[in-house]
Structure 1
Amino acid sequence: MLHQLPKRRFQLPPPPTVTPTIPKPPLNPPFNHKTLVEPIKDYKQICDLLLSQTRSRSLPKGLQLHAQIIKSGIQSIPLVSHHLINFYSKTQFPLHSLQVFDETPHKSSTTWSSVISSLAQNELPFIALELFRRMLGEGLRADDHIYPSVTKSIAILGRIDAGKCVHGLVIKTGFNSDVFVGSSMVDMFAKCGEIRDARKVFDKMPERNVVSWSGMISGYVLLGEDEEALRLFKRVLVEDLDVNDFTFSSIVRVCGNATLLELGRQIHGLCFKTSFDSSSFVGTSLVSLYSRCGVIEGAYRVFNEISVKNLGLWNAMLIACAQHAQTNKAFALFEDMICVGMKPNFITFLCLLYACSHSGLVKKGRYYFELMKEYGIEPGHQHYASLIDLLGRAGKLQDAVSIIENMPIKPTESIWGALLTGCRIHGNTELASFVADKISELGNVGSGLLVLLSNAYAAAGRWEEAARARKMLRDQGIRKEAGLSWVEDGNKVHTFASGDRSHMRTKEIYEKLEELGEEMERAGYIADTSFVLKRVDGEEKNQTIRYHSERLAIAFGLITFPPERPIRIMKNLRVCGDCHTAIKFMSKCSGRVIIVRDNNRFHWFEDGKCTCGDYW
């Protein structure tokens, strides 16, 4: 049992042998002893001054105070060390906090707590846990200040084994009933994917606060258990409990993942009433919500209304522009981001490469790929996969092969998958066979890649190889994901599968499709049955493609929604080429705006044209 763990048994792998170098903090303005006040002998006055500089994040003045402390010989006082450690933590120099700690001869429990917190808050979890182990080794007991920092470090590392040891210590030391420690345990278990353990701790807490509720809700969101997250959020509202921007951010993300636009709008209203709509964290989730639901103008509105934007918000708006084929706006947004002094990260460049990939902008994509290095970002496998995808979609398959052969990292499943997609689009069966051999060398690969293999072989008429790829799926116990499309009407979501006749308005839906099909044929539409990857005759192919899930969902929208309302359809798979052509004709013949989101991007159909320019 966890509570029976013997004392001082908390173990971690040995720390890195390389001693971290401590960077010299910048002095601006330059350090000047003459600006110092007369030597201060009252250490309480020094502590008050340090606290003031910590609140204002004034590094130069804090450094001068540190010099005065050394000069006065009062650094050995635990309270002074505590304030120095906290000062360097808040100014994001955690290794200086560690240096102050090491130079402190008399370390109180507050000193240990301060340095562990500093390291945890500044993303140095391993060193934080190593210090915690040292503290226990010296016979000191952890308290309600130290445990939350330790659990935060464990959550960053995902070390559930260490987490369970700490849980045992929490029970042994009697802190399991403390609301702050309990909340941190809930958050730790949830972030480590142990949602059942998180819920056990949560349910046993005699008192819960906003952190425990938020941690539990976000844990369900992270694991995709959206319904349970919504149930907990409803309890929060019914019981009139406190919520914070983290709670709202998590629940808005649920609405975005499930494309629940109407519910998302209601929660946006709650955010507005509680003034959390101005939070960058909530704003990021709201931008993603409106973008995922095909309401790009709503995403822009949220983005523009937030005065203080963090990097996550900029990245969310970038990917929204890219997914909605607003490529030039994405590039302009990146320039604005640089102008305001925001430093891009690896996700920023993934967004830009994605925008280039789905617009065929090879030269621009190469430019951004090289620009990453100027910001000190080394391209990872995701960036290489995006670059290969860009070249593959543009038909530059040999260039893509050359990059794979010369890149400094080993090709991953996603990289080969990107090249295989290019082979599929451009019908290069010879290269596809080469890629298939490389994929088979990887051993067990994901179901998505096996489906790609099957489709590539089927498109080339190589039915035996396609059957072999499908058999590999069956042998792994995986079924090919069924194509589904859904449309939201009020608070209800209507879902359709290919050839589906289970809907209560099936008769009207199929009648509408027949009526629209005749208009489309008169307008020049001819079905392209090459997208039916089955061994069936011509007439059966025509029937198969005519009743794809997205067409049924659109027909439902046509008979249900008023003429001025756009029809928004969500699809879990890539829309096929014939359906893409058909929907262009549907929009022209019906005079309606039709927005389709597949698993790659958004397609905005209006008057027979699509925003993707037939390039997706």
Structure 2
Amino acid sequence: MLQALKKPLQSPPLSSNIRVVKPPETLLNQLGFEQGYRQTCNLLLSQTQSRSLPKGLQLHAHIIKSGLQTLPLVSHHLINLYSKCQLPLLSRQIFHETPRKLATTWSSIISSFAQNELPCLAIEYFRRMLGERLHPDDHIFPSATKSCGILGRIDVGGSIHCIVVKTGYEGDVFVGSSLVDMYAKCGDLKIARKVFDEMPERNVVSWSGMIYGYTQFGEDEEALRLFKQALCTDLKVNDFTFSSVIRVCADSTLLELGKQIHGLCVKTNFELSSFVGSSLISLYAKCGVIETAYQVFEEVPVRNLGTWNAMLIACAQHAHTNKVLDLFKEMGSFGMKPNFITFLGVLYACSHAGLVEKGKYFFELMKEYGIEPGPQHYSSLVDLLGRAGKLQEAVSIIEEMPIAPTESILGALLTGCRIHGNTELAAYTADKVIELGSMSSGMHVLISNAYAAAGRWEDAAKARKKLRDLGVKKETGLSWVEVGNRVHAFTSGDVCHLRTKEIYQKLEELGEEMERAGYVADTSFVLQDVDGIEKSQKIRYHSERLAIAFGMITFPPDRPIRVMKNLRVCGDCHTAIKFMSKCSGRVIIVRDNNRFHRFEDGKCSCGDYW
């Protein structure tokens, strides 16, 4: 028995289905240092790619036991492991414990900070690396410029660009692409385009960065033109590129073009991407086709927070309030934590449905999720109370909130005053807005209207004069209809359209039917000091009515008429369109700058609460 115990143990035969993973120190002993070192690095790479933190921690422990943690390449892989597992501070600890730091070590830590939304640390460590007299490479420059783009620090980004030129990396496609992206995000599209045009080689990142830049700053035509050029170069665009271009179509309400790009997404298998899905939901919702937005949402296999928010906001804009509340609950069951955008969507839905108590509940619920209400949330809360006629409570919120009132918050109170005819409070609020100093052209008009409604015509004239003196033009009220790939736009009293005669004739015919059905124009919405007859004429040919009449003579009877408008629909037009839908038997969908109104059989989806 004793002799048997002294015999060396024989390893049992291994089944072909069983794999034994040996710890690194065993590998070092049996395979030799170099082979064991390589195997350790390969194992680290495997855990990094799979983002397996528990196994990575076990492997890290074995590395410490074997003494490999001091080797630069092992440290490099450990930094990347914790970076991919979203633990950048552990990456920093590994970095500082590494006695010999190579360029790859610096590259790893700077990349870790940039990828984990710590741009200040990324730039700080880039500066430290330069102090160590190490030269950045094509891996380090993109991380540094990305951080500048996140912070909007074009001054720092410009300095890094100078270093890029000095070190001869300006011709590198990855460095050049990151510079394009940085300048675009910082708002300097001129320099971004210059860098883009001078690149000897471009990849999908450079094209996407430039397109995204144009999209962000409202250069929609240039974004679409560049996208077309990218397709002509046989570039294999990615989901980020598609998402940016679809956003252009959504913001410009170009439904037909958006459908074509959706088809291209399907052909290239990008329609299932969460980024593309979010943009498609916004596209169809903003173009008034909420049914297709629902369909896209259901077909996206992996929904990120952006996808949920896009659907929630779409439902809020289309007055599907119950669906908004259902989606909020459903998010929790999928383990999705709402953010500040989610709550903005929910508060918006409550505001436009008159759900005061629910709105207050969700406003307080934000704090349980660690979200501090910002100016937009307070603006939504004031809007909620103002629309419900609780104007004094809205004033109390403004007086007690921990932040100074902004233009949007006071604007929400002004809107509530206008809806409920409280001209005295409206004029008082207008005075408070003027005390803020600079304001948008839209706010100037809102103030002028508040004074006009209160009968303070002199103050109203002063507000409009100030707008002219500042050289700021009032936004022209526009309504437009898309036919095929062409957009037909109208202004109030427009006589420039080729079919003007038919449009006005249709309005006359429809007007007679509406009057027989009981429609009476409410000229109180004409805030100009003119007589009643002129007021009646002005309100009769508002831009949305011209667009609807054009739709009636253009589209077949069974097709909904979708009209987009850049300003709020006036109260009389809202009433008139209800009569239009009843007298014509047509479905009319109107989007103003606040929400969608679906008119059918004399009723509106907003329930006259808007």
TM-score range, shorter chain: over 0.9
Pick from 591, 594, 609: which aligns with 2:588?
Answer: 594
1:45 Cα deviation (Å)? 2.2
How many angstroms apart in 2 are the aligned matches of 1:473 and 1:43? 72
| Greater alpha carbon shift after TM alignment, 472-481 vs 294-303 | 472-481
Is the counterpart of residue 76 in structure 1 residue 70 in structure 2? yes
How many angstroms apart in 1 are the aligned matches of 2:536 and 2:22? 85
Per-residue CA deviations over 1:71-109 (Å, capped at 9, x if unaligned) read: 222211001100110000000001111111011110000
In structure 1, the partner of 2:467 is: 473
Pick from 402, 406, 414: which aligns with 2:408?
Answer: 414
1:547 Cα deviation (Å)? 0.3
In structure 1, the partner of 2:123 is: 129
Pick from 17, 37, 50: which aligns with 1:43?
Answer: 37
Alignment of 1:82-161 (within 5 A): 82-161=76-155
In structure 1, the partner of 2:337 is: 343
Contact 1:36–1:64 (CA under 8 A) maintained in structure 2 = no
In structure 1, the partner of 2:551 is: 557
In structure 2, the partner of 1:65 is: 59
Contact 1:198–1:216 (CA under 8 A) maintained in structure 2 = yes
Contact 2:24–2:66 (CA under 8 A) maintained in structure 1 = no
In structure 2, the partner of 1:250 is: 244
Is the counterpart of residue 519 in structure 1 residue 513 in structure 2? yes
In structure 2, the partner of 1:55 is: 49
How many angstroms apart in 2 are the aligned matches of 1:38 and 1:547? 81
In structure 2, the partner of 1:508 is: 502
Pick from 157, 168, 187: which aligns with 1:163?
Answer: 157
Residue 86 of structure 2 aligns to a residue whose secondary structure is: coil
How many angstroms apart in 2 are the aligned matches of 1:202 and 1:163? 16
Q: Which 5+ residue runs of structure 2 have no aligned equivalent?
A: 1-20, 29-35
Residue 162 of structure 1 aligns to a residue whose secondary structure is: helix
In structure 1, the partner of 2:191 is: 197
Code of the residue aligned with 1:474 in structure 2: it is: R
Alignment of 1:367-446 (within 5 A): 367-446=361-440
How many angstroms apart in 2 are the aligned matches of 1:505 and 1:38? 81
How many angstroms apart in 1 are the aligned matches of 2:105 and 2:347? 46
Pick from 301, 312, 320: which aligns with 1:307?
Answer: 301
1:36 Cα deviation (Å)? 9.0
Residue 39 of structure 1 aligns to a residue whose secondary structure is: helix
Q: Which 5+ residue runs of structure 1 have no aligned equivalent?
A: 1-34
How many angstroms apart in 1 are the aligned matches of 2:534 and 2:443? 27
Alignment of 1:174-213 (within 5 A): 174-213=168-207
| Greater alpha carbon shift after TM alignment, 584-593 vs 429-438 | 429-438
Is the counterpart of residue 268 in structure 1 residue 254 in structure 2? no
> Structure 2-normalised TM-score?
0.94
Per-residue CA deviations over 1:498-538 (Å, capped at 9, x if unaligned) read: 00011100111000000000000000000000000111101
How many angstroms apart in 2 are the aligned matches of 1:95 and 1:113? 15
1:120 Cα deviation (Å)? 0.1
Residue 533 of structure 1 aligns to a residue whose secondary structure is: coil
1:43 Cα deviation (Å)? 2.7
1:421 Cα deviation (Å)? 1.1
How many angstroms apart in 2 are the aligned matches of 1:127 and 1:177? 27
Per-residue CA deviations over 1:324-373 (Å, capped at 9, x if unaligned) read: 00000011011111110011100000000000011111001011101111
How many angstroms apart in 1 are the aligned matches of 2:293 and 2:485? 21
Is the counterpart of residue 331 in structure 1 residue 336 in structure 2? no
Residue 562 of structure 2 aligns to a residue whose secondary structure is: strand
Pick from 357, 364, 377: which aligns with 1:363?
Answer: 357
Q: Among the aligned pairs, what percent are the same residue?
A: 75
How many angstroms apart in 1 are the aligned matches of 2:164 and 2:23? 46
> Structure 1-normalised TM-score?
0.93
Pick from 592, 595, 608: which aligns with 2:602?
Answer: 608
How many angstroms apart in 1 are the aligned matches of 2:441 and 2:71? 61
In structure 2, the partner of 1:458 is: 452
The structure with the largest alpha-carbon Rg is 2
Is the counterpart of residue 225 in structure 1 residue 219 in structure 2? yes
Contact 2:142–2:174 (CA under 8 A) maintained in structure 1 = yes
Code of the residue aligned with 1:306 in structure 2: it is: V
Per-residue CA deviations over 1:231-285 (Å, capped at 9, x if unaligned) read: 1111122222110001100111111111000010000000000000001111111
Is the counterpart of residue 540 in structure 1 residue 526 in structure 2? no
How many angstroms apart in 2 are the aligned matches of 1:510 and 1:60? 72
Contact 1:101–1:111 (CA under 8 A) maintained in structure 2 = yes
In structure 1, the partner of 2:17 is: none
